[in-house]
Structure 1
């Protein structure tokens, strides 16, 4: 509401209306894709510089499905380009409005594709890394990369371009958002494990984890991949091996509160 009032006072209401319309259409793409895949949507927040769709899914959906939902937003910009071409062809809108729409559509599209969490580019970065690395490593590295890139763009904006308060505040906001996420990274990881415990993984593949009996159970969980079911093989002295299912390991952690136990202790108890 503050931005709307300021835009009316400064004569930039048309620019704000175009930006909000593009952001709404962008989030509509995410929403439609999420509904098609039966995601549980809590709310959608629209801001002047973008939007956020808050969902109940916490990295338990297949990576391929999350990629589709993520790309559905940027794809809307292609539709907007096509609509603008039609409007230009049949002269449905003034050239000044079309020029502004072309400009802001391009800026918002490119901005959202930056590899900075929680932008679409940052989500794609996490999803791509999740195909190669365990979830915790993929998530932590995504936050680190996001903070580094935010700082780089802040420096570039201050040194090589005329100072723009809105761009500076936006990049600073993204850096602080990732910094706060970094502080909460442990709880995000636990939320991932809890979602996996109650809902199970997306059973697309399987993976074997071989660990020493002295390995802490949380260190075992740090090796969990998305979209894979894990068979955990515990190596005891004398090269003796026992196996434990990941569900039993998660059950022991959350139900039995085995927070400080080693995987060897849990395996012996289970067997």
Structure 2
């Protein structure tokens, strides 16, 4: 596990000491640690390893090993565990409020509750956005699911920023919601590249989808033989194996391809390749040799799960 502690952290604590806000900072980090602890405990229970733990000036971040290749239900449980831990923390603070000062109770209770609530917003880099992404990926494929969640994420941040600007305009002194919206927008932009690359990599990595029992959840597509195969990529998902039936203009089945064979064809022949190039819509075309990893076209008809 890679541990990263931000070099700005000591200066932040020094600033808290000078401004007499150190106790508030420590309380904030306590809320954040409790939130991430929920993710961590659930990941350990589900036998997911931790690849990265970062303590940053504005939060705590963890990354899990092979999270994108685990079943949808497990990923949703891990994502939901953080807000659930925050809400449980708020409940415990409420039960033991008599042992705390009014200021401590208000700060810790509101901090945990707000942290859990904000993380349920449909913004991709937060738990609510991840849960929504997993559900949409399972239903529509990873790439379509990603673009839909990105749209909802941007809409949520824009609405939050507009509401924050309205509050700042009416109160003349409270920029907190606007600052939070800016932070959410920055985090979404900063982590968006990592999310996109990881999502695409796992959607293509069919090796992680192999199951010991040999039984696969599949998505079946039927496409015309003139459709470029690159247009099928948006339907690939890390949760399901994709099987594609190629038909001609008369809706007669010509061949069946797996996502592995489609990926191999795109890599070796380029993005303009079609089902007709692989099999052919006529008898003459069907006898052509089309090498993918040294195989001829007739070999593709031996079964959809040939690896």
- Give the structure-1-normalised TM-score: 0.85
Please give the alpha-carbon distance, in whole angstroms, between the structure 1 residues aligned to 2:130 and 2:220: 27
SS in 1 for 2:70: coil
The 2-side partners of 1:182 and 1:129 are apart by 17
Ranges in structure 2 where 5+ consecutive residues have no aligned partner? 1-8, 281-289, 291-296, 299-307
**2:165 aligned residue (154, 158, 165):** 158
- Choose from 38, 49, 53 the match for 1:44: 53
RMSD: 2.7
Q: Which residue of 2 aligns with 1:133?
A: 140
Structure 1 unaligned residues grouped into runs of 5+: none
Give the Cα separation in 1 of the matches to 2:95 and 2:149: 39
Q: Could you tell me how far apart the structure 1 residues matched to 2:186 and 2:103 are?
A: 36
CA offsets 1:51-88 (integer angstroms, 9 cap, x no match): 32223436322211111000111111233134324433
Question: How far apart, in 1, do the equivalents of 2:128 and 2:30 lie?
Answer: 21
Q: Larger C-alpha radius of gyration, 1 or 2? A: 2
Report deviation, 1:43: 0.8
State the distance in 2 between where 1:183 and 1:25 align. Answer: 27
Equivalent position of 2:31 in the other structure: 22
The answer for the alignment partner of 2:232 in structure 1 is 220
Contact conserved, 1:27 with 1:51, CA < 8 A, in 2?
yes
Q: How does 1:101-250 map onto structure 2 within 5 Å?
A: 101-161=108-168, 162=171, 163-165=173-175, 167-179=177-189, 187-194=197-204, 196-200=205-209, 205-241=217-253, 242-250=255-263
Q: Distance in 1 between matches of 2:216 and 2:77?
A: 16
Aligned equivalents of 1:101 and 1:29: distance in 2? 17
Contact 2:133 2:149 in 1 (8 A): yes
Scaled by the length of structure 2, the TM-score of the pair is 0.76
Measured at CA, do residues 111 and 200 of structure 1 come closer, stay the same or move farther in structure 2, by a change above 3 Å?
A: same
- Which runs of structure 2 are paired with 1:87-102 in the superposition (5 Å)? 87-88=96-97, 91-102=98-109
**Partner-residue secondary structure (3-state), 1:81:** helix
Q: CA deviation at 1:154?
A: 0.5
Equivalent position of 1:5 in the other structure: 14
Question: How far 1:6 moved relative to its partner?
Answer: 1.9
Partner Cα distance (1:224, 1:121) in 2: 22
